Amino acid sequence: MTDIYDIYAVRYGHHFRHAAANFVGGDPHDAPMPLDYFVWVIRGENGTYLFDTGFDAAMAAKRKRDLVRPVEDGLRLIGITPDSVREIILSHLHFDHCGNHDLFPNARYHLQDVEMAYCTGRCMCHPVLRQPFEAEDVTNMVRKLYEGRVVFHDGVSEIAPNLIAHRVGGHSKGLQILRVLTRRGWVVLGSDAAHFYANVEEARPFPVVESITDMLDGYETMKRLASSPRHIIPGHDPLVLRRYPLHHPDIADIVRLDLDALG
Ligand SMILES: [Zn+2]
Ligand SMILES: [Zn+2]
């Protein structure tokens, strides 16, 4: 079969927090509920696509997150050199999704119109809305635009055959998710449309939010686009690493999402 893809979730970062910080209205149990940070690699006969670019060591220090393994090292573990990456899709421009600005000199960047408008416009007058953005990330994307390296999308857009971007907004106004055909069916890479399985499964919104309505609608969109609930991949949930087969038995934090979930 052609036009199906392998998908790798490559963890690069970690951050400890309690559950109350992960849901609008808090959480009655408030147990530890840390975040993992990932980039995702989609590999098919058409080529290789990188979904999000993570953050680097300097940003990890600034934002007090743990850099578990630099993004470039994780990519090398699955045989990808940064120079070889030509297509990058950015879910949105929050600091943990669009850093490592100079790592991919040969890539162009796919972005929703609305995301660029959002983070360069009047909404950023509100500190609470600009808090997850970094001016350096945003200005760097403007620079890439003037280098002719940005491709804009508006809503639903076919990046490649059976690799389709869908704008859902909610968490950030121009947030896009990916629907990818694999050997096990349609996988939905949610990125921050759902930080955790619990956000989408229990319809409990994450508190970094531009529109609660769009976030809740986004959960429904993910369910509709995925072949089953097991085909929805949240953006920051450590459970992803436990639910999917390892790429390599000696590497605990790179998993294959195109293969059936464990158990
Ligand atoms: Zn985000
Ligand atoms: Zn994020």
Question: Mind listing the pLDDT tens digit for each residue in 136-180?
Answer: 999 999 999 999 999 999 999 999 999 999 999 999 999 999 999
- Nearest ligand to the CA of 209 is 1
Q: Is the pTM of this model over 0.95?
A: yes
- Pick the closest to residue 102 from 77, 85, 117, 119 (CA basis): 85
CA distances 61 to 31, 39, 191, 246, 249, Å, are 25, 19, 22, 28, 30
CB of 161 closer than 8 Å to CB of 3: yes
- Pick the closest to residue 188 from 235, 245, 132 (CA basis): 235
- Pick the closest to residue 175 from 160, 195, 161, 204 (CA basis): 195
Report how far ligand 2's centroid is from the alpha carbon of 63 (Å). 12
Report how far ligand 1's centroid is from the alpha carbon of 149 (Å). 22
Tell me whether strands 35-44 and 156-160 are parallel, antiparallel or unpaired.
unpaired
Report how far ligand 2's centroid is from the alpha carbon of 1 (Å). 33
Pair of tokens at residue 28: 């009655």
Report how far ligand 1's centroid is from the alpha carbon of 1 (Å). 34
Q: Classify burial at 121, counting beta carbons within 10 Å of its beta carbon; exposed 0-12, middle 13-18, buried 19 or more.
A: exposed
Report how far ligand 2's centroid is from the alpha carbon of 192 (Å). 5
d(CA 124, CA 183): 41
Report how far ligand 1's centroid is from the alpha carbon of 171 (Å). 6
Report how far ligand 1's centroid is from the alpha carbon of 137 (Å). 13
- Nearest ligand to the CA of 175 is 1
pLDDT score at 1: 57
Buried/exposed 248-262: b ≥16 CB within 10 Å, e otherwise: eeeeebbbbbbbebe
- Those residues of the chain that have pLDDT short of 50 are none
pLDDT score at 263: 75
Q: What is the pLDDT of residues 183-211, one digit of tens each?
A: 999 999 999 999 999 999 999 999 999 99
CB of 76 closer than 8 Å to CB of 57: no
Report how far ligand 1's centroid is from the alpha carbon of 99 (Å). 12
| Element containing residue 191 per DSSP (H, E) | strand 185-191
Report how far ligand 1's centroid is from the alpha carbon of 73 (Å). 23
Q: Which CATH superfamily is domain 5-256 in?
A: Ribonuclease Z/Hydroxyacylglutathione hydrolase-like (3.60.15.10)
Domain boundary assignment for the chain:
5-256
- Pick the closest to residue 115 from 189, 51, 210 (CA basis): 210
Pair of tokens at residue 126: 């509100």
Report how far ligand 2's centroid is from the alpha carbon of 160 (Å). 24
* Three-class secondary structure of residue 215 per DSSP: helix
Report how far ligand 1's centroid is from the alpha carbon of 132 (Å). 7
- Nearest ligand to the CA of 234 is 2
CB of 258 closer than 8 Å to CB of 184: yes
User: Secondary structure of 234-249 in the HEC alphabet?
Assistant: ECCCCHHHHHCCEEEC
- Nearest ligand to the CA of 37 is 2
- Nearest ligand to the CA of 134 is 1
Report how far ligand 1's centroid is from the alpha carbon of 83 (Å). 26
CA distances 125 to 71, 95, 129, 140, 152, Å, are 31, 17, 8, 19, 24
- Nearest ligand to the CA of 171 is 1
- Nearest ligand to the CA of 172 is 1
CB of 178 closer than 8 Å to CB of 165: yes
- Nearest ligand to the CA of 208 is 1
d(CA 95, CA 92): 9
